[in-house]
Amino acid sequence: MKKYRKLLAAVLAGAMTVAMSAGVQAAAEDGYIVKATNTEAKSSDNDFVIAIEGSVSSMDPANIPDTSAISATRGVYENLVQFNEDQEIVGQLAKSWEVSDDSLTYTFKLQEGVKFHDGTDFNSAAIKANYDRVVDEKNKLRQRRTFIVAQNDGTEKERVASIETPDDYTVIFTLSEPWSPFINRLTQFCIISPAALEEYGNDIMNHPCGTGPYICTEWEEGDHTSFKRNEDYWGEKPGVDTVTIKEVPEAGSRTAMLQTGEADMIYPTPADQIEAIKSVDDVNVLTADSNIMRYVTLNMDLPELQDQKVRQAMNYAIDKDAYIALMYSGNGKPATSIVPSIIGGYEEQTPYTYDVEKAKELMKEAGYEDGFKLTLWGDNTTQEIKGMTFVKQQLAQIGIEVEVMPMESATVNDKIYVEKDEAEINMWYVNWSASDFTMDGSVRSLLYSTMCPPTSANTAYYNNPDFDKLLDEGLHTADLEEQAKVYSEAQKMAWDAAPWLFLGNDQIIYSTKSYVSGVYVAPDGAFNFAHAQLAQ
């Protein structure tokens, strides 16, 4: 396991960069945790405010669809293991672990003396109770698909054959077969108080109760989420009294909040407003490479989108360089595979270069010389609407008339996660990042045949048994060379099939007041405020 951990860290360490602007530079060797850069700057209070573009759509860590919700829940909940600020897997609620030679048995030794926010004890029984809840089909939790494999005969198989709890501080997972990303996936397996689950059931989203450094005091979807310091936290005590995540979809409003001090941090920072932010003396602008994939799903069940030539034509009609310039002021790069280059196993594909004439030729060969009409769904934020409008304008060049339909994030989710015979989706402007940083985590939920809604987010309804087989082979081998081979084939297969409009991989851009330290945004776009500090 140590060998694997070091390899993962090496892959990611080379991809992480940090730049602090507004006249201030941070030493590269300091990593990418924000350091306070102005010793004269002071905060007027000890309350940390983050203004974000997205929405915290749930406070149930086993049932969250987006990175903003992941970020919020990580203030309240903890996992057996976690990625640290250097993207290395380290213990959190587990103080150590061992893996058997056959890669089937994982034995974790747990932290002692840890309590949940309700005062009950954290122990091995809590781990088992949370796992049992996640895999129980009656609960219909999104995280269930992490631990359940759909078989070709329509049945299901659990990846974990058994969980043993020989004592309060030992838990043993035995897998049904080798599963290479298991330890990575546990970075997303948060532990909820069993007592709270017993009391609230799946309404736990309105009554969060974990072991983390903060206690959630209020969650109002679409507006804000508030936390107070957990005075009895078992680890390093939080440095701020409260944290408030404010949902501010309008980019200019977020910028104004940072400039006036109403917010101490904003994420994301609109690339076209970086220069305006730099003009403020007490602000840092930070960038980091991401594993965020920007794309548009194409519903391959639609008659107009069934022909591969049409989907490829649509990709050739998109000027990816212009997209990166418009959307991120050059802070990113065009997509060159179905995953970003930061993902282990990535292999660059032959690009869909901007070629309108070639696109028109392919449309003619497919019998759609005169084009057709489609709808494009997406979130109603400033940035997302800009991106959707760009796609609309590009596709108009080959006769495809696109109706842009921005909606509230919750509305989009409600319309997408329906049974196949109820699906009305044509195209979806969206982004995805794999918080476990694996190839499987990057594509299985999006392109595997059994991951269509409502199970998961394969809204292209891509169904290729050969592709599925390759993903399964990669999942069941710990041989890195064999993984590289099968994932190379899988990437080429899906790239050629063009179930998406492959747009780009942007850099993460966020900004803080210069008196802020201890926070950061990880490559998957999740912001971490567990160790936030405000100079007083």
107 - beta bridge partners? 98, 172
Residue pair 372/398 in contact (Cβ under 8 Å)? The answer is no
Check whether 2 has a pLDDT greater than 50: no
Domain 293-506 falls in which CATH fold? Dipeptide-binding Protein; domain 3 (3.10.105)
Domain span(s) for CATH 3.10.105.10 in the chain? 293-506
Over residues 30-59, mean pLDDT:
89
22 or 206, which is more confident? 206
Domain span(s) for CATH 3.90.76.10 in the chain? 57-211
Reported CATH class of domain 1-53+248-288+507-536: alpha beta
Check whether 100 has a pLDDT greater than 60: yes
Site of tokens 């991951």: 451
pLDDT classification of 287: cutoffs 50, 70, 90? confident
Which residues, 6 or more positions from 166, have their beta carbon under 8 angstroms from its beta carbon? 124, 172
Check whether 501 has a pLDDT greater than 50: yes
Check whether 5 has a pLDDT greater than 60: no
Residue pair 51/255 in contact (Cβ under 8 Å)? The answer is no
420 by Cβ neighbours in 10 Å (0-12 / 13-18 / 19+) ranks as exposed
Residue-wise pLDDT for 47-75, tens only, equals 999 999 999 999 999 999 889 999 999 99
Check whether 85 has a pLDDT greater than 80: no
Q: What span, in angstroms and rounded, lies between the C-alpha atoms of 50 and 243?
A: 8
- Give me the chain's average pLDDT, please: 90
270 or 312, which is more confident? 312
Q: What span, in angstroms and rounded, lies between the C-alpha atoms of 157 and 149?
A: 5
Domain span(s) for CATH 3.40.190 in the chain? 1-53+248-288+507-536
pLDDT classification of 342: cutoffs 50, 70, 90? confident
Check whether 204 has a pLDDT greater than 60: yes
Over residues 140-147, mean pLDDT:
93
In this structure, which long-range contacts are made by residues 275-281, counting pairs with CB atoms below 8 Å and at least 24 apart in sequence? Answer: 277/22, 277/511, 278/21, 278/22, 278/23, 280/22, 281/22, 281/23, 281/514
Reported CATH class of domain 57-211: alpha beta
Q: What percent of the chain has pLDDT over 90?
A: 76
* Amino acid 4: pLDDT: 28
pLDDT classification of 288: cutoffs 50, 70, 90? confident
Check whether 177 has a pLDDT greater than 60: yes
Q: What span, in angstroms and rounded, lies between the C-alpha atoms of 39 and 536?
A: 10
Over residues 170-195, mean pLDDT:
95
Check whether 259 has a pLDDT greater than 80: yes
* Amino acid 31: pLDDT: 56
Residue-wise pLDDT for 378-404, tens only, equals 999 999 999 999 999 999 999 999 999
No. of helices (H) and no. of strands (E), the chain: 16, 25
Tell me, rounded to whole angstroms, the distance of Cα 384 from its chain centroid.
16
pTM: 0.78
Over residues 424-434, mean pLDDT:
94
Residue pair 458/451 in contact (Cβ under 8 Å)? The answer is yes
* Amino acid 491: pLDDT: 98
Over residues 494-499, mean pLDDT:
98
* Amino acid 46: pLDDT: 98
* Amino acid 74: pLDDT: 95
Check whether 28 has a pLDDT greater than 60: no
